[in-house]
Structure 1
């Protein structure tokens, strides 16, 4: 096991409710360590869901660290409503809105790690040794997760602004994903193995995005709830601008060497084809079923509108996944269409294996300190 990322360590990190900034950084680091642990287990160059969670969690940190969120929001507001930045009466409601955005992101970031961090830590620890890769051990791992459909939490806001949530549904998609990762351990065909990993990654992504629905929606609605009703016409306009600004920030993904704009069609990895060779053509029946459900495969291969087809014709040297850009990040279907194609295109992108933190920042995190300087 890489660096002691065990289910127990996952639970310790989740329990750090009084230190949300440090917890997010440790979650991000934890996903990176789980990426390396899973890469050791699979040992075939197909990267599993934690590699994508690493960079999503790092992006979430910008919302959790309210100072950075506020700075980014200020820049966007200055370009659209500069007068509000000088308004003393609007400072408090703006701060409340930023806090509510952060609370939603904090809760979502933590609950996903609590579920899937445990799943990957258990899988990597159980199957680290080839001799342990038996159907009996798989059954033990799968049994840790409950049967039932993936459902969004029921979330309410207490009088003090804190979030109260009630989980519902089950974890059948996690159980299914773990079984496909296990099948990939024993698959000799590179193409078949890559499809199994992509299928498992897609199921993990759909489960966690379903669970995240009220937190993403709540974060984007926070400015409307906190400003539109209290500050009259100016407040309503400001709330709308803040929601747009939060959406722009949320729909940006900083990767090593590239920044993705999630509202635009997904570009190929720098210097690489759009799809890894092993995933250029998808054939696994369950995988094709999933892509149909998500609208991902259909969006790429058929049913494109005139605008997408013109873009494809006018920009032949810049391959993109036509029709993948999300129109509204608060809609699960829009998110998953983009996310699935992102998973498919980057499943063998080794540039994502780099640590999200510098060596000095790693040392601070190991010592239980929040690193200073840019994160």
Structure 2
């Protein structure tokens, strides 16, 4: 400024601190005087949370445990004695993690130098992750003898509220969209649409219930994806599949499969027996895929449509809803009581505030659904598994007693049944699998827990729900272990249910099952009715 700035008559050219009463001159004509009233500003103390404090239970591999109330704004956890919570374990770093208060609950931060990052249902926990009631943080999952489990409990961070990081609610499938999927004539595209449909319903149901517990449709997504791989013969060695396609006169696998599955009435010959086996398996798997989706998808979406805004149970309207969708009565009599009971369990779980009771209700809903759909698919599954035996013996085993009387003797019948049983056992052991987002699981082997250490989530270790316990005990004489869960013969309902019950129970907190089965660009093509490019 050409007139200059003066403080108490002295010209200043740089930044200057002002005091009470200072006079500021702007040239010879303007004078400013600094005045203010000094007073003490009282900052109210931070409101303390009401109700029970959150707590952290420390579980060590040797069985020791203790529970620590959480009250401070910042809490350090580690092996060193200077920490607020000391955990004496070799998998813990001297300074391992911090719990930082956010309102009445806590965020988790891992110290940068910590060796073992906390895992939540097998996934590394990012810094700043809010903790929710029932969260179990596993540290050192690869060191079985020293693993540490930290369990967070809170009366305010309730599990039924989706965490802020949960996926946004998807647009729900409509009845028309479901009908279009069911009516899709291209069996390859239909499987992809069903798989994506299961994923959409899984997220719809997740917002209705919780994303903390995996629901049947999330399991169904990857079961359908696995079925799709078998329908498309992707489990075959590449060279064998290529030779099969070329021998049929095609140079494109998609066109070959589309043509073969649409024209399945052909005579089995020695030259085409392998193709016939694969064709019949694909058709049966596609049929099973369709039957279950057609029966289950719309009732669950409609449940969320009609009751998704409820803040308290409405038993009478809900029973009317069940009557509108399902036939009362046992499965053997053509009824759908298992489905009715399954939806009842899910509806009760929506309003249950106790973590353990809610998890058991969701588990009950899952296994009741499994019991219905596996019973419904029994003839389809058994026939699909036995296709290699049935086609190879076609024409060898007489169909009537007039053809060869002695062949229908009890001895021969037993030999044929025994041979068929051996084929089903061999297929189960060597071929049957389930594709998870992070691993391939063999159905003929025992279930491998998500963490590789803890068999079941804390809420499902000891079952208290009477219906849950009854179903588990019916199919699994080793109720609280994964030992013996592998199926000997996937064609037998009891074998399948034993595996499925243990699998559902062990993976109920594995949120990776909510991951999308396809890439976004593939989803667009699938929903438009096209077969997408890329690996599926």
TM-score, length-scaled by structure 1: 0.78
Given that residues 215 and 366 in structure 2 are in contact (C-alpha distance below 8 angstroms), is that contact kept between their aligned partners in structure 1? Answer: yes
Match of 2:228 in 1: 61
- 2:316 and 2:283 map into 1 onto residues whose CA distance is 41
Shift of 1:373: 2.6
Partner SS state of residue 440, structure 2: strand
* Equivalent residue runs for 1:351-366 within 5 Å: 351-366=512-527
Shift of 1:15: 1.5
5+ unaligned residues in a row in structure 1: which ranges? 76-88, 152-167, 302-319
Decide which structure has greater helix share.
1
* Equivalent residue runs for 1:14-93 within 5 Å: 14-16=182-184, 18-43=185-210, 45-65=212-232, 67-68=233-234, 71=237, 74=240, 90-93=270-273
Shift of 1:92: 1.0
Task: Tell me the C-alpha RMSD between the 2 structures.
Answer: 2.9
- 1:57 and 1:104 map into 2 onto residues whose CA distance is 13
Match of 1:344 in 2: 505
1:108 equivalent to 2:274? Answer no
5+ unaligned residues in a row in structure 2: which ranges? 1-168, 242-268, 398-415
1:137 to 1:240, Cα distance in 2 relative to 1, 3 A:
closer
The structure 2 residue matched to 1:227, chosen from 386, 392, 395, is 392
Given that residues 449 and 506 in structure 2 are in contact (C-alpha distance below 8 angstroms), is that contact kept between their aligned partners in structure 1? Answer: yes
TM-score, length-scaled by structure 2: 0.56
- 1:290 and 1:240 map into 2 onto residues whose CA distance is 26
The structure 1 residue matched to 2:317, chosen from 117, 137, 156, is 137
The structure 2 residue matched to 1:299, chosen from 469, 478, 488, is 478
Shift of 1:300: 3.5
Partner SS state of residue 271, structure 2: helix
1:278 to 1:241, Cα distance in 2 relative to 1, 3 A:
closer
- 2:342 and 2:275 map into 1 onto residues whose CA distance is 40
Match of 1:306 in 2: none
- 2:202 and 2:499 map into 1 onto residues whose CA distance is 21
Q: Which has the larger radius of gyration?
A: 2
The structure 2 residue matched to 1:122, chosen from 302, 308, 316, is 302
* Equivalent residue runs for 1:142-221 within 5 Å: 142-143=322-323, 144-151=325-332, 169-221=334-386
Shift of 1:41: 0.7
Aligned residues: 322
1:12 equivalent to 2:180? Answer yes
1:280 to 1:146, Cα distance in 2 relative to 1, 3 A:
same
- 2:439 and 2:236 map into 1 onto residues whose CA distance is 24
Shift of 1:244: 6.8
- 1:4 and 1:204 map into 2 onto residues whose CA distance is 21
Partner SS state of residue 180, structure 2: helix
Relative contact order: is structure 1 or structure 2 higher (C-alpha 8 Å, sep ≥ 6)? 1
